[in-house]
């Protein structure tokens, strides 16, 4: 007995935390971050004058902000081994309802509206998104319909509803004040819309990695049955995760209004796929249970940098989707091989 005890304590002295560096290199977040860095470096080396210009970077960041907010919500959904195809349509729906509400409150045209109206517009956008998210969540968790089908349904329905609301046309009359502050305004050179996206992203990252909510998100995606047996309410948790994704899509719709000065009803058909691609590129497993918001940030910027960079160095931008496709498929293949190797033990 004493013999086994000594071997035990010896084994456990080695049971300290793996060193930080080793943990980092073991995670594919690091590698995907390096890919992004290499891309920036390569484009920067070819055309340093055009790439490292403040306006180029500002524009790149601002354009990507809306997608980033969508992708943060998508990260949570995919970690539960779900999917949300509806985010782009919910974004359109929220931006239309919010623009219509602001116009309504200002007697038809909100161009000169004040902060009170803008706040109402924000509220309407967020609530619109939340309602779609809640609907998705309830159908997935209570009615047990596969998320792919549920959100394929709301993808069509939200888009259709948005078109119905304004007879299929864009809604103009976005308050100038909103556009000047959050659309084109900057703070020490950083576009304000980017700051908003960064705050959302940081909050999402903390929620996922440090809180019980995040832990349950991983647990549900990793083994739903195990989560249920330890007493986690899987149904409520899934509902909340889809609610979060919908709410963020609503916020993204409002950000789009601020940025484009109009609530556009077209052009968001592939937002869902872009967000999914970003999340998966960022190392989140499509099978659930693994992933990070930081990875998603890298995943959002890789396609964006590729697109901008290829244009700047004079390659036809049609190469961009092809390049993204290759990286995406490679990322999933890598994830699968790692998983298989791990599960064989």
Partner 1 sequence: MTEPLLEARDLTKNYGTVEALRGASFTAYPGEVVSLIGDNGAGKSTLVKCLCGVEQPTGGTVLFDGKPLTLNSPNDARDRGIETVFQDLAVAPDLDPAANMFLGREILKPGLLGRLGVLDKKAMRRQAVEHFTRFGATLQSIDVPIAALSGGQRQSVAVARSVAWASKLVFMDEPTAALGVVQRERVLDVIKRVRDEGIAVVLISHNMPEVLSVSDRVEVLRLGRRVARFKAAETTVEELVGAMTGALSQEDAA
Binding site for partner 1 (CB under 8 A): 4, 8-9, 11-12, 14-18, 23, 210-213, 215, 218-219, 221-223, 225-227, 229-232, 288-290, 339, 342-343, 345
Q: Work out how close the CB of 10 gets to partner 1 at its nearest, in angstroms, rounded to a whole number.
A: 9
CA distance 86 to 151: 5
Q: Which is nearer to partner 1, 55 or 343 (CB)?
A: 343
Q: Which is nearer to partner 1, 208 or 263 (CB)?
A: 208
CA distance 326 to 336: 15
Q: Work out how close the CB of 201 gets to partner 1 at its nearest, in angstroms, rounded to a whole number.
A: 18
- Give the helix/strand (H/E) hosting 320: helix 319-343
Q: Work out how close the CB of 235 gets to partner 1 at its nearest, in angstroms, rounded to a whole number.
A: 13
CA distance 345 to 204: 33
Alpha helices in 47-114 (DSSP H): 48-51, 54-79, 87-105
Q: Work out how close the CB of 4 gets to partner 1 at its nearest, in angstroms, rounded to a whole number.
A: 7
Q: Work out how close the CB of 240 gets to partner 1 at its nearest, in angstroms, rounded to a whole number.
A: 12
Q: Which is nearer to partner 1, 93 or 216 (CB)?
A: 216
Contact between residue 330 and residue 31 where contact means Cβ atoms under 8 Å apart? no
Rg of the chain (C-alpha set) = 22
Q: Work out how close the CB of 337 gets to partner 1 at its nearest, in angstroms, rounded to a whole number.
A: 14
How is residue 220 written in tokens? 């549900």
Q: Which is nearer to partner 1, 161 or 331 (CB)?
A: 331
How is residue 43 written in tokens? 């484009």
Closest CA to 241 of 261, 223, 277, 215: 215
Q: Which is nearer to partner 1, 103 or 292 (CB)?
A: 292
Q: Work out how close the CB of 233 gets to partner 1 at its nearest, in angstroms, rounded to a whole number.
A: 10
Q: Which is nearer to partner 1, 184 or 222 (CB)?
A: 222
CA distance 131 to 154: 11
Q: Which is nearer to partner 1, 218 or 301 (CB)?
A: 218
CA distance 75 to 293: 7
Contact between residue 68 and residue 300 where contact means Cβ atoms under 8 Å apart? yes
Q: What is the DSSP letter of 143?
A: S
With a CB cutoff of 8 Å and minimum separation 6, the contacts of 310 are 316, 317, 319, 320, 323
With a CB cutoff of 8 Å and minimum separation 6, the contacts of 222 are 288, 289, 290
Q: Work out how close the CB of 76 gets to partner 1 at its nearest, in angstroms, rounded to a whole number.
A: 14
Q: Which is nearer to partner 1, 125 or 241 (CB)?
A: 241
Closest CA to 34 of 273, 276, 285, 327: 327
Q: Work out how close the CB of 341 gets to partner 1 at its nearest, in angstroms, rounded to a whole number.
A: 9
Query: Would you give the end-to-end CA distance of the chain in angstroms?
Result: 29
Q: Which is nearer to partner 1, 9 or 167 (CB)?
A: 9
């Amino acid at each position: 007995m004493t013999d086994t005890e000594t071997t035990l304590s010896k084994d456990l002295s080695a049971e300290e935390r793996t060193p930080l560096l080793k943990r980092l290199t073991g995670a594919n977040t690091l590698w995907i971050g390096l890919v992004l860095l290499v891309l920036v470096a390569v484009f920067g080396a070819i055309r340093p004058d055009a790439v490292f210009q403040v306006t180029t970077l500002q524009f790149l960041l601002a354009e990507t902000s809306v997608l980033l907010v969508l992708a943060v919500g998508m990260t949570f959904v995919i970690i539960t081994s779900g999917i949300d195809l509806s985010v782009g349509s919910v974004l359109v729906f929220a931006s239309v309802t919010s623009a219509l509400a602001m116009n309504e409150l200002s007697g038809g045209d909100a161009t000169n509206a004040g902060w009170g109206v803008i706040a109402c517009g924000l509220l309407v956008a967020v609530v619109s998104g939340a309602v779609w998210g809640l609907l998705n969540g309830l159908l997935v968790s209570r009615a047990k319909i596969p998320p792919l089908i549920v959100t394929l349904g709301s993808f069509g329905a939200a888009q259709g509803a948005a078109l119905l609301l304004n007879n299929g046309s864009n809604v103009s009359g976005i308050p100038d004040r909103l556009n000047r502050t959050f659309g084109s305004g900057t703070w020490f050179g950083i576009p304000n819309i980017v700051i908003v996206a960064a705050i959302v992203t940081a909050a999402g990252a903390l929620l996922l990695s440090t809180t019980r909510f995040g832990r349950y998100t991983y647990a549900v995606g990793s083994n739903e049955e195990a989560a249920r047996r330890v007493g986690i309410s899987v149904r409520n948790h899934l509902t909340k995760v889809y609610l979060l994704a919908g709410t963020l899509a609503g916020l993204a719709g409002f950000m789009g209004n601020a940025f484009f000065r109009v609530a556009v009803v077209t052009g968001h058909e592939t937002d869902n796929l872009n967000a999914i691609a970003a999340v998966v590129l960022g190392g989140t497993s499509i099978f659930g249970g693994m992933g990070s918001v930081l990875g998603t940030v890298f995943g959002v910027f890789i396609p964006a940098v590729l697109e901008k960079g290829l244009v700047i160095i004079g390659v036809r931008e049609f190469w961009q989707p092809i390049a993204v496709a290759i990286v995406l498929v490679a990322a999933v293949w890598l994830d699968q091989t790692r998983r298989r190797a791990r599960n064989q033990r």
